[in-house]
Structure 1
Amino acid sequence: MKDLLKQWGKHIVALILFLGLVMVYFSPAVFDGKVVMQGDNIKAVGMGHSQMDQYAKTAQPGEFSAWSDAMFGGMPYVTGYGQPAPSMPSYTIVDGWLKKVGYGDAAMVFVGLVSFYLLMCIMGVNWWLAIAGAIAFAFASYNIIIIEAGHIVKAYVIGYMPVTLAGMALLFRRSYLWGAVLFLLGVALSLANGHIQITYYLVLLCLFIYIGYVIKKIREKAYGEWLKTSLIMVACVILAVLPNAQGMYSNWDLSQHSTRGATELTPKPDASGKVEKVSTGLDKDYAFQWSYGWKELLTVLVPNTYGGSSGGTLDSSSELYKELKKNGAQVGKELRTYTYWGDKIFTSGPVYFGALVCFLFVLGMFVVRNRMKWWLFAGSVFLTFLALGRNFDAFNDLMFHYLPMYNKFRTVEMALVIPGLVFPIIGIWGLREILAQKVDEARLKKGFLWSLGLTGGICVILWLMPSLLLNFQSAYDAQFQNQVPEWYYTALLMDRASLASADALRSLIFILLGAGLLVWFWKAKNKKTAATVVSAGVAVLILADLWTVDRRYLNDSNFVKQQPSEMYKETVADEEILKDTDSTFRVLNINNPWQETNTSYYHHSIGGYHAVKLRRYQELIDHRLDGELRGIIGALQKAQTADDVMSALAACPSLNMLNTRYIIYNPEQQPLRNPYAFGNAWFVDKLDIVENADAEIEALNTINPLVTAVVDKRFQKDLEGFVPQKDSTATIVLEEYRPNRLTYKSKADKEQLAVFSEVYYQPGWTATIDGKEVPHFRADWILRGMRVPAGEHTIVFDFRPQGYVTAAYVASYSSFLILLLLIAAVGWSGWQYWKKNKE
Structure 2
Amino acid sequence: MTSLYFLPHLQGKKIVQSDWIQYLCMTQEIKSFEAANGIKPLWTNAMFGGMPSYQINPPNRGNYLDKIDWFLRLGGDTPIGVFFAGMLGFYILLMVLGIDYLIAIFGALIFAFATGNILLYGAGHLSKLMAVAYLPLLTAGLILTLRRKYIWGFFVFAIGSGLHLMANHLQITYYFFLALPFLILAEFGKSIREKSLTDFLKAILILMMAFILALGSSLTNLWTTYEYSKETVRGNQILGTRSNHTESKSISKKGLPWDFAMQFSNGTIDLLACIVPGAAGNASAAPLTPGSRIYKQLEKDGASKPTQLKVPMYWGKLPQTDGPFYLGVVVFFYYLIGLFIIKGPIKWWLGLGTLLFILLSLGKNFQYFNDFIFNNLPFYNRFRAPNSIITICPFMVTLLASLSLDKIIKETNGDHVRSILKKIGYWFAIPLLVIALAGPFMFDFYSAVDGQFELLGLNMNDLIEDRRDIFWKDGFRSIFFMLIIYGLVYAFITKKINKRSLVFAIGVIALSDIWLIDRRFLNYQHFEDLQEYQSTFTPRKVDAQIQRDSSLNFRVIDWTVDPFNSATLSYFHKNVGGYHAAKLRRYQDIIDKYLIEQDTNVLNMLNTRYIIQPGENGEPYVQKNSNALGNAWAVDSIVIVGSAKEEFDQLDGLNPANTVIINKEYESYLKGFESGSTGEIELVHYIPDHLTYTTHSSKEILAVFSEIWYGPDKGWQAYLDGNPVSHVRANYLLRALRIPSGKHKVEFVFQPRSFYLGRTISKIMSSMILYGFIWFLGIMGMQYFYRNRM
Fold shared, TM-score > 0.5 on shorter chain: yes
Partner residue in 1 for 2:587 = 617
Structure-2 residue corresponding to 1:643: none
1:239 match = 213
**Which of the residues 289, 299, 302 maps onto 2:263?**
289
Give the C-alpha shift of residue 322 in structure 1: 4.6
2:691 aligns with: 742
**Structure 2 CA distance for aligned equivalents of residues 558 and 53 of structure 1:** 26
Q: Is the 8 A contact 2:90 2:107 kept in 1?
A: yes
Is the 2:717–2:724 Cα contact (8 Å) retained in structure 1?
Answer: yes
1:472-487 alignment runs, 5 A limit: 472-481=445-454, 484=457
Q: 8 Å contact 1:366–1:443 — kept in the other structure?
A: no
Q: Deviations over 1:296-316 (max 9, x none)?
A: 201111100010211224534
CA distance in 1, matches of 2:688, 2:160: 35
| Secondary structure at the counterpart of residue 685 of structure 2 | strand
- Alignment correspondent of 2:461: 490
Cα deviation digits, residues 355-391 of structure 1 (max 9, x gap): 1011111111111122431222111111221111111
Identity %: 34
Match of 1:600 in 2: 570
**CA offsets 1:143-180 (integer angstroms, 9 cap, x no match):** 00111101111111111111111111111111111111
Read off the aligned partner of 1:538 and give its amino acid letter: I
Distance 1:83 1:445, change over 3 A: closer
Alignment partner of 1:257 is 2:257 = no
Q: CA deviation at 1:325?
A: 5.8
| 2:135 corresponding residue in structure 1 | 161
More moved, 225-234 vs 320-329: 320-329
Asked if residue 103 in structure 1 is aligned to residue 77 in structure 2, the reply is yes
3-state SS of the aligned residue for 2:508?
Answer: helix
Aligned to 2:494: 523
Residue aligning to 1:505:
476
1:416 aligns with 2:400: no
1:193-204 counterparts in 2 under 5 A?
193-204=167-178
Letter in 2 for 1:757: S
The answer to whether residue 197 in structure 2 is matched with residue 226 in structure 1 is no
Return the letter of the residue paired with 1:472.
F
* C-alpha contact (below 8 Å) 1:381/1:419 kept by paired residues: no
The aligned counterpart of 1:542 is: 510
User: Contact between 1:239 and 1:818, CA under 8 Å: does it hold in 2?
Assistant: yes
Matched, 1:578 2:547: yes
Q: Which residue in 2 is equivalent to 1:448?
A: 421
Pair 1:375-2:353 in alignment: no
Q: CA deviation at 1:101?
A: 6.8
Q: State the 1:441 CA deviation.
A: 4.5
1:688 matched to 2:639? The reply is: yes
1: distance between equivalents of 2:37 and 2:248? 54
C-alpha deviations, 1:83-134, integer Å up to 9, x for none? 588x68x233221122237624222221221111111111111121112211
List gaps (5 residues or longer) in structure 2: none
Letter in 1 for 2:696: K
Aligned to 2:434: 461
Q: Distance in 1 between matches of 2:246 and 2:684?
A: 54
Match for residue 67 of structure 1?
Answer: 43
Equivalence map 1:662-811=2 (5 Å): 662-665=610-613, 671-724=622-675, 726-728=676-678, 730-762=679-711, 763-811=714-762
Partner of 1:626: 596
1:556 is aligned to 2:530: no
Partner secondary structure for residue 472 of structure 2: helix
- CA–CA separation in structure 2 for the residues paired with 1:759 and 1:503: 52
Aligned to 1:12: none
The answer for the alignment partner of 2:30 in structure 1 is 52
- Aligned-pair distance for 1:598? 2.5
* Structure 1 equivalent of residue 608 of structure 2: 660
1:353-392 matched pairs, under 5 angstroms: 353-392=327-366
Q: In the alignment, what sits opposite 1:814?
A: 765
CA distance in 1, matches of 2:440, 2:666: 63
The alignment of Structure 1 onto Structure 2 pairs a total of residues equal to 783
Which residue in 1 is equivalent to 2:9? 29
1:155-194 map, 5 Å: 155-194=129-168
- Structure 2 distance, partners of 1:758, 1:227, is 52
The amino acid of 2:239's aligned partner reads: L
Question: CA offset at residue 335 of structure 1?
Answer: 6.4
Q: Is the 8 A contact 1:664 1:672 kept in 2?
A: yes
1:242 to partner: Cα distance: 1.2
Looking at structure 1, the residues matched to 289 and 26 of structure 2 have their Cα atoms a distance apart, in angstroms, of: 39
Contact 2:716 2:752 in 1 (8 A): yes
SS of residue paired to 2:704: strand
Structure 1 residue 212 displacement after superposition: 1.6
- Aligned to 1:537, the other structure's residue is in SS state helix
Native 8 Å contact 2:43 2:53 kept in 1: yes
Counterpart-to-counterpart distance in 2, 1:581 and 1:159: 45
| TM-score under structure 2 length normalisation | 0.94
Contact 2:238–2:585 (8 Å) recurs in 1: no
- Secondary structure of the residue that 1:493 maps to in structure 2? helix
Letter of the structure 2 residue corresponding to residue 824 of structure 1 = W
Alpha-carbon contact 1:452-1:511 (below 8 Å) kept: no
| Residue segments in structure 1 that go unaligned for 5+ positions in a row | 1-20, 630-651
Q: Give distance in 1, aligned partners of 2:329 and 2:56.
A: 45
| 8 Å contact kept, 2:281–2:467 | yes
Amino acid at match of 2:449: Y
Q: Distance in 2 between matches of 1:492 and 1:275?
A: 35
| Alpha-carbon distance in structure 2 between the residues aligned to 1:36 and 1:626 | 32
- Asked whether the equivalents of residues 769 and 793 of structure 1 are also in contact (C-alpha less than 8 Å), the reply is yes
Q: CA deviation at 1:666?
A: 5.3
Q: Take 2:304 and 2:555, find their aligned partners in 1: how far apart are those partners? A: 46
State the AA in 2 paired with 1:458. P
Question: What do residues 299-351 of structure 1 show as CA deviations (whole Å, max 9, x unaligned)?
Answer: 11110001021122453433444555677777746864221101222100001
Distance in 1 between residues matched to 2:578 and 2:428, nearest whole Å: 46
Deviation at 1:82, TM superposition (A): 8.7
What are the equivalent positions in structure 2 for 1:294-313 lying under 5 Å apart? 294-313=268-287
Equivalent-residue separation in structure 2 for 1:82 and 1:350 (angstroms): 32
* RMSD (CA atoms): 2.5
Following superposition, the deviation at residue 265 of structure 1 comes to 1.0
| Rounded Cα–Cα distance in structure 1 between residues aligned with 2:371 and 2:198 | 39
Which position in structure 2 is the counterpart of 1:5? none
Deviation at 1:744, TM superposition (A): 1.6
Task: State the distance in 1 between where 2:637 and 2:68 align.
Answer: 60
Question: How far off is 1:190 after superposition?
Answer: 0.3
Q: Check whether the contact 1:52–1:80 (CA below 8 A) recurs between aligned residues.
A: no
TM-score by length of 1: 0.89
How far does the alpha carbon of each residue in 1:384-440 deviate from its partner, in whole angstroms, 9 at most, with x for none? 21111111121112222221222221222111123221111111211211111x224
- The alignment partner of 2:738 has SS state of strand
Distance in 1 between the 2:409 and 2:397 partners?
Answer: 18
Q: Which residue of 1 aligns with 2:66?
A: 92
SS at match of 2:684: strand
Q: Distance in 2 between matches of 1:779 and 1:504?
A: 60
Amino acid aligned to 2:42: A
Shift of 1:473: 1.9
What letter matches 1:627 in structure 2?
E
